[in-house]
Amino acid sequence: MTSRGNALKALIAGLRGAPTDSADWQAVIALANHTLLTPDLFSSLARAGQIHQLPQDVREYLRFVYDCNRERNLRLRTQLREAIAALNGRDIVPFLLKGAVPLFLSPGGQVPSRMTSDLDLAVDPREETFARTCLEELGYVDVAGARGMAREHDAGMLELRSSQPTCHAPPELVQLGGLRVNIPPARSRALHWMVHDLLKEGDYWRGRIDLRHLHDLARLAESEDVDWMSLQESMPDRSARNALDTQLLALHHFFGTRIPAKCTQRPMVRFQHWRRVFTATHPIIGAPLRLAGNLMWGIWRFSRAYGLTKRGPSDPLHRIARTLFNPRTKI
């Protein structure tokens, strides 16, 4: 196996609380940093009582990153609660998305180890203008070149979007600490991560894996009952169903998540899973596969020309180029 493959195997083992004896920790930490999983790696090993099995310098580095991320998450939670309180004051109950959910629900001085890039909130489309005005009164301003609002003293950006209609179960109204929020059911949260990564970001065609989001899905499946078959049935076409099943197969492969056997039977799903794992563990010789996938996705995305009439002819090309040449946290 390649050095990348060994590092990936050791990182996954650590995230599952079982460090490998022969791990190249420099390579593992580099991969954990790239995928934004370093705090989760420390947390998983600490919960499993295995953190002291690591070399002292590795243990100290992981704890340092974990502690820094904990302080940042505490600041993010304070920022989140302030925004929710202001919105509630206007009788707006926001929807919490992605990392904002565990941040809000975490008790007292405890915060999740997940490294959260920003805070994602959604409101009813009819309330979006009022919500934006409310946040501007708190000092938030739009960030040039990014989808979000920010203030200089905050730990992260806040992204406000319109809530989308869904055929899934309605969100749960949660009241905590005098604040009111809507939290989508586990099924909707899982679907959001999958659609965002596989279809919007093109990971299905491009053969990439967002390991942090895959880890999020694995932990969600551990804590809540997710009906994977109903998610598959909600996909609009065969290509989208193949994409979802490919992600489920990756969940089972890396984290042992139980998935319906039916989701792994189609040859296309098995091929796409093999391609993603192969390019993740063999980045050099797998480069032609990734290049072909990038070209396929670029052609498909351009043919759809998302938002062309609203944003102008150059915007789809700009968005495609920005995503193709910005690997971010993918493997």
Handedness of CA 42, 45, 47, 51 (dihedral sign): negative
- CA 25/CA 7 separation, integer angstroms: 8
pLDDT level of residue 274 (50, 70, 90 thresholds): very high
- Which of the listed ranges 219-223, 303-307, 309-313, 326-330 does the model predict with the highest average pLDDT? 219-223
Q: Is residue 69 part of a domain?
A: no
Domain shared by 211 and 325, yes or no: yes
pLDDT per residue as tens digits for the range 153-209: 999 999 999 987 665 678 999 999 999 999 999 999 999 889 989 988 889 999 999
Compute the C-alpha angle 183/223/29, nearest 5°: 100
Domain limit, last residue, from 155, 184, 213: 184
pLDDT: which is higher, 329 or 39: 39
Q: Is residue 67 part of a domain?
A: no
Structural domain boundaries enclosing 300: 186-331
CB of 182 within 8 A of CB of 96?
Answer: yes
Domain shared by 131 and 271, yes or no: no
- The model's pTM is 0.88
| Percent of the chain topping pLDDT 90 | 67
pLDDT per residue as tens digits for the range 111-132: 999 999 899 999 999 999 999 9
Asked if residue 24 has pLDDT above 90, the reply is: yes
Mean pLDDT of 215-236: 90
Q: Is residue 309 part of a domain?
A: yes
Domain shared by 142 and 223, yes or no: no
* Least-confidence region, from 81-85, 87-91, 277-281, 292-296: 292-296
Mean pLDDT of 59-79: 97
Domain limit, last residue, from 184, 209, 240: 184
Amino acid 111: pLDDT = 93
> Can you list the pairs that 278-286 forms with residues at least 24 positions away whose Cβ atoms lie under 8 Å?
279/207, 279/208, 280/4, 280/5, 280/8, 280/208, 280/209, 280/331, 281/1, 281/2, 281/4, 281/5, 281/8, 282/2, 282/4, 282/5, 283/2, 283/4, 284/2, 286/207
Domain shared by 243 and 103, yes or no: no
Q: How many domains does the chain have?
A: 3
Amino acid 64: pLDDT = 98
Amino acid 307: pLDDT = 47
| Percent of the chain topping pLDDT 70 | 91
Amino acid 308: pLDDT = 46
pLDDT level of residue 310 (50, 70, 90 thresholds): very low
Amino acid 318: pLDDT = 53
Amino acid 284: pLDDT = 85
Amino acid 323: pLDDT = 52
Amino acid 144: pLDDT = 84
> How do 118-123 and 95-97 pair as beta strands?
antiparallel
Asked if residue 229 has pLDDT above 50, the reply is: yes
pLDDT: which is higher, 106 or 298: 106
Q: Can you name the residues that pair with 175 across neighbouring β-strands?
A: 180
Mean pLDDT of 83-108: 94
Strand, coil or helix: 201: coil
Asked if residue 304 has pLDDT above 80, the reply is: no
CA-derived radius of gyration, the chain? 20
Residue 52's φ and ψ, nearest 5 degrees, are: -80, -5
Mean pLDDT of 298-322: 57
pLDDT: which is higher, 165 or 37: 37
Amino acid 328: pLDDT = 63
- Residue 171's region, left for phi above 0, alpha for psi from -120 to 50, else beta, is beta
Domain shared by 178 and 190, yes or no: no
Amino acid 241: pLDDT = 93
Domain shared by 141 and 266, yes or no: no
Q: Is residue 192 part of a domain?
A: yes
Q: Is residue 176 part of a domain?
A: yes
Mean pLDDT of 315-328: 53
Q: Can you name the residues that pair with 157 across neighbouring β-strands?
A: 118
